[in-house]
Amino acid sequence: MTPTDKNDAAARQLLRHTLATLAYRAGKVLRDAPGDFVNFRIFESTRTPGQILAHLGDVLEWADSIAKGKEEWHDSPVVDWETAIQRFFAALKNLDARLASNQPLPVECGKIFQGPIADALTHVGQIAMLRRMAGAPVRGENYYRAEIAAGRVGLEQSMPVREFN
């Protein structure tokens, strides 16, 4: 196999670990957000956290559609925070299950990473930054030490090993 093989097992495993990392980091910034955070806006032209989270759901559903070989994009409206969180993690679970299966992929794992997954990581960082700006910061931590495992892509994650003050 070559690194560009669409069904390279090592590439799938790395992508699954990336999804678990995304779940861990997203869970940290999405959990326990203040009630009014969904509509927090720093400028008229910027997205609210609710809009970013809706977009994150769209991005992950798009990633799953790519992995199915039927690329589809939808622009979803903002919904309540908890519903949007559940949608995000459901989309992560669907994509992870597809990668964990023996079903062939129509594209290289690297393409899924470079498009939707890298975009999702960026948006999780935006939400973290907005939480700090809204006065509800998330504690930083040594993510190298975090207990992240491929397949653990739900809201429930292990406790932080070493957070910073």
Which tens digits make up the pLDDT trace of 70-114? 999 999 999 999 999 999 999 999 999 999 998 999 999 999 999
How far CA 95 is from CA of 28, 29, 43, 135, in Å, comes to: 20, 21, 33, 33
What single letter denotes the amino acid at residue 110? G
For the segment(s) 15-145, the CATH number from 3.60.20.10, 1.10.10.60, 1.20.120.450, 3.30.450.40 is 1.20.120.450
Task: Please state the domain extents for the chain.
Answer: 15-145
Backbone φ and ψ for 133, nearest 5 degrees, come out as -65, -30
Mean predicted confidence (pLDDT) in 29-55: 96
Report the alpha-carbon distance of residue 14 to residue 107 in Å, rounded. Answer: 15
Q: Do the Cβ atoms of 19 and 116 come closer than 8 Å?
A: no
How far, in Å, CA of 142 to CA of 12, rounded?
25
